[in-house]
Structure 1
Amino acid sequence: MTEIAFHTNVADPLIYSCRLLRKAYMSGARVVVTAPAETLARLDRELWSFSATDFVPHCHAGAEAQVLSRSPVVLAESLEQLPHLGVLVNLGQEVPAGFERFERFFEVVPQQEEGRLAGRRRWKHYQARGYTLKLHDAAAPPTGGG
């Protein structure tokens, strides 16, 4: 069954996602990011400029097959005909059709009220279907000793 983790209270979902994607890429994971076209276009621009020293290779789902098969991060409005089904990141407001085919799934939920309410609806949707959900509060102070 798909592992689902909610990342809530995210101040800037695009910057947060860039960091999440960088971490995934560095660990060797293959990721699909789903969202409306406008959000994906903004994420694409952000991935090119968010760090002067790190680059996260990525492409859009409509890229040539050769590029698509080699890209560790794929930006997709739809989850049909994807080169891999490893990790999914949702930056949209709706439950993505086909999420259950992925091994791991991250929901990024912004601090803004509209995004929080949509996130709660998605949480209830997955919970009602028996998924075990993990919660990561991005606004919570880090824990641990030092």
Structure 2
Amino acid sequence: MARIEFHFNAPALVSYTCRLLRKVQGRGLRAQVVGHASTLAQLDQALWTFAPLDFLTHCQAQAPAPMLASSSVLLSETPVAGWHRQVLINLGENVPEGLEGFERIIDVVTVDDLHRAQGRQRWRQYASLGHELLRHDLLKTESA
């Protein structure tokens, strides 16, 4: 079973995910990011512009093979079986299918009431599947 980290109280989903991906890439890891197509489109755009001195190599799942091979971040609505399975970041409303084999799963939950309610549902579903759950309250982290 995978260890799943819930990052609660993210002030903004896309900008927090950009910072999280910068940390992941800085550790030499590759990440798949799953979520709704509109969220992934916003993230794709933000990854080009979020920091003037940083560039995170990323692509969509439909990218040509050479681009897939050289990217550290893959954006897809569902996990891609044939790509790296080091880190999965879930930005979606539901528990994604195909979690098997990931070393680390991060589920990001914003301060939005609807997003929190969906996060609680995912927490219960992950727990019922037997996953180890860790909670990271981002509001406590910022104030510390």
TM-score class normalised by the smaller sequence:
over 0.9
* Matched residue, 2:16: 16
Residue 84 of structure 1 aligns with an amino acid whose one-letter code is H
Write the mapping of 1:30-109 to structure 2, written as runs, cut at 5 A: 30-109=30-109
Find the counterpart in structure 1 of residue 112 from structure 2.
112
Question: What is the Cα deviation at residue 69 of structure 1?
Answer: 1.5
Amino acid at match of 2:136: H
- Partners of 1:71 and 1:57 in 2: how far apart? 5
Contiguous gaps of at least 5 residues in structure 1: none
CA–CA distance in structure 1, aligned partners of residues 70 and 141 of structure 2: 37
Give the TM-score normalised by the residue count of structure 1: 0.93
Mapped to 2, the partners of 1:82 and 1:32 lie a distance apart of 11
Unaligned runs of 5+ in 2: none
Counterpart of 1:136?
136
In the alignment, the residues of structure 2 paired with residue 60 and residue 142 of structure 1 have an alpha-carbon distance, to the nearest angstrom, of: 31
Q: Residue type matched to 2:126 in 1?
A: Y
1:99 aligns to what SS in structure 2? coil
Partner of 2:127: 127
Aligned residues with identical type, % of pairs: 42
The code of the aligned residue for 2:30 comes to R
For the 8 Å contact 1:4–1:107, the answer to whether it is kept is: yes
The count of aligned residue pairs is: 144
1:7-48 superposed Cα distances (whole Å, 9 cap, x missing partner):
001110111000000000011001000011110000001111
The aligned amino acid for 2:41 is A
Q: Name the SS for the 2:139 alignment partner.
A: coil
Give the conservation status (yes or no) of the 8 Å contact 1:61–1:82: no
SS of residue in 2 equivalent to 1:101: coil
Q: What do residues 52-94 of structure 1 show as CA deviations (whole Å, max 9, x unaligned)?
A: 1111110111100111022110001122344211100001111
